[in-house]
Structure 1
């Protein structure tokens, strides 16, 4: 299933999400797996003025269009920090591998 355009949402690559994480907030949504550094996604943060049921409808619509909620900005920052604690100067590929590992296992990768 191809992912659809969502009005008012800025598309980014997973690579951009990792390299420029400080620019974003919310949860990273991406298309179907398998993912690579060029896979498209976007960050979504619920509007606090929305009723919980309305916010859930929006998230459900993203999922229905083929987008998958992955990790929060904070989780991605933690994955990056954990990887940098283990590897002095990790490559973008190592950071991406750590991102995937955390998504799949809800745990940090041990290098």
Structure 2
């Protein structure tokens, strides 16, 4: 499973699948922080963890948001701002992760 930066995920949300996993300390996340997507758990036996990236199994990375939710976060920001910056998308991403709600830009 390939590593991808948060910035790249937010730039191309339609290319994302399953759950995006990141290192556990969100205070250190930036647009350049690398993460990885899980595979589809439905493609594996119920008692298997083979769909999880090595970083989740061995390094304590956490499942943050699924690809569909990330796509909705970006779409919501675009609806409000037209052409949001990557920093605004990142702010919306973090807000959703922390609050399970869309950020209302002023």
TM-score (norm 1): 0.81
User: Equivalent residue for 2:15?
Assistant: 23
After superposition, give the CA deviation of every residue in 1:51-99 in whole Å (9 maximum; x if it has no partner): 222138947x715512111111100010011111111211000000000
**Structure 1: how far apart are the matches of 2:78 and 2:2?**
28
Picking from 60, 65, 73, the partner of 1:66 is 60
**Structure 1: how far apart are the matches of 2:101 and 2:89?**
14
Question: C-alpha displacement at 1:50, in angstroms?
Answer: 1.5
User: Equivalent residue for 1:91?
Assistant: 85
> Over aligned residues, Cα RMSD in angstroms?
2.2
Structure 1: runs of 5+ lacking an equivalent: 1-8
| DSSP-derived class of the 1:38 partner | coil
| DSSP-derived class of the 1:29 partner | strand
**Structure 2: how far apart are the matches of 1:45 and 1:23?**
13
